[in-house]
């Protein structure tokens, strides 16, 4: 049982750290849109989604107490890994379509967080409405990112930078709030440091 608690706690930390990295990568793309040219951006996005995908799949198998934050992470984790592979392999002239996929991923992730908020309400979590509002705002923003990519309203790295920052923030706070590690009740021998 002790190992199980450690796995859930590790999954929570790993997912929060990967969301922080997503936010920082988005900030970097926003502030420095020409960051090292196309190759550097490709490497950054590919590594970012590879790490995020691995963290999400690990979280799914961690078996957290409420099973809220990680309930969709098997599918989204593998989708992130697929995005990482596509980012590494697609030719530059098709990268525009990949930006569209990333914007669509942010929208989909927001919709999943909206469903998580409804489940959080059933568990009696007091901040379920905040999760719902923030996910709906992110969903609306995700729709805007998709439109911005299609209409080329802004430079692509800037659009994706803002999208990654928003998704990273949403994932940080939803994971930190909804993932619960069940408190381990000590048996009598454990309380007194005795061998069972």
Write the pLDDT tens digit of every residue in 27-66.
Answer: 988 888 777 677 888 888 899 999 999 999 998 888 776 6
Do the Cβ atoms of 59 and 73 come closer than 8 Å? yes
Determine the pLDDT at residue 189.
45
pLDDT class of 10 with cuts at 50, 70, 90:
confident
188 in any annotated domain: no
174 in any annotated domain: no
97 in any annotated domain: yes
Determine the pLDDT at residue 19.
94
Total count of domains within the chain: 1
Integer-rounded Cα radius of gyration of the chain: 19
43 in any annotated domain: yes
8 in any annotated domain: yes
- The mean predicted confidence, pLDDT, of the chain is 82
Q: Which range marks the domain in which residue 47 is found? A: 2-167
176 in any annotated domain: no
pLDDT tens digit sequence for 88-138: 888 877 777 888 888 889 988 899 888 888 888 887 888 888 889 989 988
Burial class (CB in 10 A: 0-12, 13-18, 19+), 187: exposed
User: Could you give the CA distance from residue 108 to residue 96 in angstroms, rounded to a whole number?
Assistant: 19
Q: pTM (2 decimals)?
A: 0.80
DSSP 8-state secondary structure symbol assigned to residue 92: G
User: Could you give the CA distance from residue 135 to residue 117 in angstroms, rounded to a whole number?
Assistant: 8
189 in any annotated domain: no
pLDDT class of 67 with cuts at 50, 70, 90:
low
15 in any annotated domain: yes
């Amino acid at each position: 049982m002790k190992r199980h608690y450690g796995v859930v706690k590790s999954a929570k930390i790993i997912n929060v750290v990967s969301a922080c990295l997503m936010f920082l990568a988005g900030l970097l793309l926003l502030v420095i849109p020409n960051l090292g040219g196309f190759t550097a951006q490709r490497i950054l996005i590919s590594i970012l989604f590879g790490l995020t995908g691995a963290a999400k799949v690990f979280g799914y198998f961690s078996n957290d107490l409420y099973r809220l934050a990680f309930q969709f992470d098997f599918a989204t984790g593998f989708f992130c890994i697929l995005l990482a592979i596509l980012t590494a392999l697609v030719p530059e002239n098709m990268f525009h379509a990949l930006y569209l996929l990333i914007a669509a991923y942010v929208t989909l992730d927001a919709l999943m967080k909206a469903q998580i908020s409804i489940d959080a309400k059933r568990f009696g979590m007091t901040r379920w409405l905040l999760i719902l509002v923030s996910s709906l705002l992110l969903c609306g923003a995700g729709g805007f990112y998709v439109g911005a990519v299609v209409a080329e309203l802004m430079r692509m790295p800037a659009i994706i930078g803002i999208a990654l920052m928003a998704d990273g923030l949403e994932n940080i706070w939803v994971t930190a709030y909804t993932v619960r590690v069940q408190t381990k009740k000590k048996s009598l021998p454990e309380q007194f440091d005795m061998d069972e």
